[in-house]
Amino acid sequence: MKKNILITNDDSIFAEGIKRLENGVKEFGNVYTVAPDREKSAVSFSITTNSPLRISKVDDYHYAVSGTPVDCVYLATKVLLKEKPNIVISGINHGPNVGEDTIYSGTVAGAFQASLLGIQAIAISVIDNQEGEYDFDSAVKVLKELIPFLLDNPLPEGNILSINVPYSPKGVKFTKLGHKRYDAEVIEKQDPRGNKYYWIGPGKITTFGENESDVKAVENGFVSITPLSLNFFDSNLYKILKERENEIFKKMV
């Protein structure tokens, strides 16, 4: 029985990565693409609630949405597809999603939203070489190995895999989440009416992490596959605060 695969991204339905992904995974089943009608990078878990969403049907398998990747996954599963997808793949994103990128990434958020709806999900990104080229072929090869495993061994709800593929990788490693910190540059400008406006740029980027981290893996030329969870709860800090609960709030207890 053919599987149903849903594809989304945050680079838009017109991005090269999403087209290469479609062609690469069509052997596994029916491929449906529901993606933003324009670039929505760094929108994270944003969902559109204060304005209507519009869907442009390209054909029975392609839909462009005037919203975010999270909107796309919602509309695909609740409105557009007759059957629930067996797996959602978000990507192939142009550029890395390592470390703190995963907080901002619309690509990662689209995968997480699928997982919260009980659907297996992968976020996949490619990292360019020094000449601005991406290795989409290697990204597809990784997916072809991984998809059958996930279909037979589902991830727990609320968990996804985030894949980052450097150019011409040396191999594949399962990794931990490293760190990629942004010291964003804020540029002030003035419009023709004399009003100030601002651009927030990437500024200085600092990466660090242990040898088993996604950051180090891709820096060393390996594909990084990192399991991610939406469980933000910190058990260690909880224990510290719980022990001092009465001390902190002594006037209220």
Tell me, what's the pLDDT at 204? 86
CA 156/CA 143 separation, integer angstroms:
19
Selecting from 3.40.1210.10, 3.90.1150.10, 3.40.50.720, 3.40.50.300, what CATH number does the domain 3-179+208-248 have? 3.40.1210.10
Please give the Cα distance from 233 to 11 (Å, whole number).
30
Q: Whole-angstrom Cα distance, residue 228 to residue 236?
A: 19
pLDDT of residue 107: 97
Report pLDDT for 95: 95
Helix (H, G, I), strand (E, B) or coil at 20: helix
Cβ pair 97, 69 in contact under 8 A: no
Residue where the block lists tokens 């290795």: 135
**pLDDT score for 183:** 87
Quick check: 16 pLDDT over 90?
A: yes
Pairing of strands 62-65, 29-36: parallel
Is residue 189 scored above 80 in pLDDT?
yes
3-state SS track over 81-99: CCCCCCEEEEEEEECCCCC
pTM of the model: 0.92
Beta carbons of 123 and 108 less than 8 angstroms apart: yes
State yes or no: cis peptide before 92, omega within 30 of 0. Answer: yes
Express each pLDDT in 195-250 by its tens digit. 999 998 777 888 999 999 999 999 999 999 999 998 889 999 999 999 999 888 88
Confidence of residue 253 (pLDDT cuts 50, 70, 90): low
Cross-strand partners of 174: 225
